[in-house]
Amino acid sequence: MEHIQQLTLTWLRPPAARATPRPPEPAAAPELPSRERVRHLAQLHHRQLLQAKQRTGSHYDVLRAQTEALREFTRELAPGQGDVFMNMYTEESSAVEREWMARQSVYRVKEPLSPTLVNTLTFAVTVAAIIAAIYYAV
């Protein structure tokens, strides 16, 4: 989700200056990639972020590089195409992150220990430790 927030914060195009004429539009904008390719890109970006987090503990440098690469790509697209691409990328990136989180939660305990049970065990161990200390001290 941080990746999408970073994109949102840095995505805005700089406002055009009023004194300079608009540059001519490029002849033809490239075609949008298929949803499968966008999904593959989102998986690749997610994997890069995870690896950077494991290696260095921080993934912000990788996040900035990915954001810049996506920004450069969308600048080549027509404005409408850029919006469609970013919507696709956001959907696929969110889906990849949800799948990863679901896989991570499979390995967790489904029902944690009851707080009452934990408190009771802690109390019993404390009482046993006090009794043992008194027994060996006397």
The residue ranking higher by pLDDT, 63 or 104, is: 63
127 located within any domain: no
- Residue 52 belongs to domain spanning: 2-12+31-111
pLDDT tens-digit map of 51-93: 999 998 888 999 999 999 999 999 888 888 889 999 999 999 9
- The reported pTM is 0.57
What pLDDT was estimated at residue 28?
66
Residue 127 has pLDDT above 80, yes or no: yes
Check: CB of residue 4 under 8 Å from CB of residue 90.
yes
68 located within any domain: yes
The DSSP element (H or E) to which 119 belongs, if any, is helix 115-137
126 located within any domain: no
Cα dihedral: 116, 118, 121, 127 (round 10): -90
121 located within any domain: no
- pLDDT tier at 110 (50, 70, 90 boundaries)? low
- The rounded Cα 31 to chain-centroid distance in angstroms is 27
58 located within any domain: yes
Number of domains in the chain: 1
Question: For every residue of 34-67, which 3-state class applies, written as one string?
Answer: CHHHHHHHHHHHHHHHHHHHHHHCCCHHHHHHHH
Residue 116 has pLDDT above 70, yes or no: yes
133 located within any domain: no
134 located within any domain: no
62 located within any domain: yes
